[in-house]
Every structure is written in C-alpha cells, then in structure tokens.
C-alpha cells in the first residue's frame, strides 16, 4: 500500500512538472520557407491561384484514393479514406499575396499563404515565400507536438517548393 501511494504521488508530481513546462512552450507555430525561381511573377501568381495546377506539385492533391471536386478555380473539396471532408480555398488578398484556407470537417486547421515578389533587377526571377501559422491548444501533448511538427512542416514545405520550382521552370521552357 505504501509503495502504491509513492507511485501515485510520483505520477502526480511528474504530471504537474510536465504541465508547468508545457506552459513555457509557445502556443503558436510559425514556419516560413522560400524559393527563388526563373519565371515571371504573373505566371507564378496565376499558377498558385489555380488550384488545378496544385496537383502538379503538391502531394496533398495527388492521393489516388480521394475523389477531388473542384468547385471553382480557387477551391477544391474531397473526402479522405477515413471519411473526413476537407477543403482548400485560395484567396488573393493583395497583388502579391495569397491566403490559403484549409478546412477539415468544416473547421479551419491552420492559416497559410504565399507571398510572391519579383526580383528588382531581373523580371524573370521571382521569390515565392510559403508561410504556415498554427495555434496550439494549452494541452501538454499539443505543446510538445508543436515542437516536433515544426521540423516536419519545414521539410514538407521545402520539398513542395522545390517541386513547384521544377514545375514552373519546366513550363517556361
């Protein structure tokens, strides 16, 4: 009985310490990656604003088991294999910026977007920056997940931006 009491007190103490440290962790993940490509800014913006072009470089729209429904040039909807309804909506909110709204079961998952800037000396060089911001709940497992998910997102974004660069530069030839 005495050993059980020590184990319970130890688990409670450990849980409280873990909870305390989780409050010190940030409650928001912000990841930003960019790529420089040899394409005019107008064609880059047009490709980013057409959701149909995303299947050429973004794996999220390349799942052969999902039936994608393109509601408009800026919106796509699909249901995943586990029955979750998903949607991506693109909105241009400035001449060089695109907001990406990603919903899962009609709830916004995170905010994301692209900034497209033309090089000052060379009109055929364009910088594309992709950013993702995600709010994290206060739960300790969510906060610790945030520490690890940042590196996964960076890798995912880097790979997709390289695929986008290859796609855009091959269209220019």
69-122 pLDDT per residue, tens? 888 888 999 888 778 888 999 988 788 899 998 888 878 778 899 999 998 888
Tokens of 162: 């390289």
DSSP H helix total and E strand total for the chain:
3, 7
CA distance 164 to 37: 9
Tens-digit pLDDT profile for residues 39-80: 999 899 999 998 888 988 988 888 777 788 888 888 999 888
Residue 20, classified by CB atoms within 10 Å of its CB into exposed (0-12), middle (13-18) or buried (19+), is exposed
Mean pLDDT computed over 142-169: 87
168 contact partners, CB below 8 Å, separation of at least 6: 37, 39, 43, 44, 47
Q: Which fold has domain 2-172?
A: Alpha-D-Glucose-1,6-Bisphosphate; Chain A, domain 4 (3.30.530)
Neighbours of 23 (CB within 10 A): 10
Q: What percent of the chain lies above the pLDDT cut of 70?
A: 98
The confidence score (pLDDT) of residue 173 equals 65
The confidence score (pLDDT) of residue 3 equals 84
Mean pLDDT taken over the chain: 85
Closest CA to 93 of 77, 118, 111: 111
Instruction: Enumerate the β-bridge partners of residue 79.
Output: 85
Break the chain into its structural domains and give their ranges. 2-172
The confidence score (pLDDT) of residue 144 equals 77
């Amino acid at each position: 009985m005495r050993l059980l009491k020590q184990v319970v007190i130890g688990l409670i103490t450990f849980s409280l310490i873990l909870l305390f440290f989780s409050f010190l962790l940030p409650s928001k993940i912000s990841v930003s990656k960019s790529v420089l490509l040899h394409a005019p800014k107008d064609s880059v913006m047009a490709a980013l604003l057409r959701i149909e072009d995303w299947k050429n470089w973004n794996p999220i729209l390349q799942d052969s088991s999902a039936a994608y429904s393109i509601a408009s040039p800026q919106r796509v909807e699909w249901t995943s294999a586990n029955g979750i309804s998903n949607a991506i909506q693109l909105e241009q909110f400035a001449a060089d910026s695109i907001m990406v709204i990603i919903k899962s079961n009609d709830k916004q998952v995170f905010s994301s977007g692209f900034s497209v800037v033309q090089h000052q000396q060379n009109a055929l060089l364009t910088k594309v920056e992709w950013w993702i911001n995600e709010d994290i709940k206060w739960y300790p497992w969510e906060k610790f997940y945030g520490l690890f998910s940042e590196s996964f997102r960076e890798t995912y974004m880097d790979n997709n931006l390289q695929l986008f660069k290859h796609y855009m530069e091959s269209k220019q030839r």
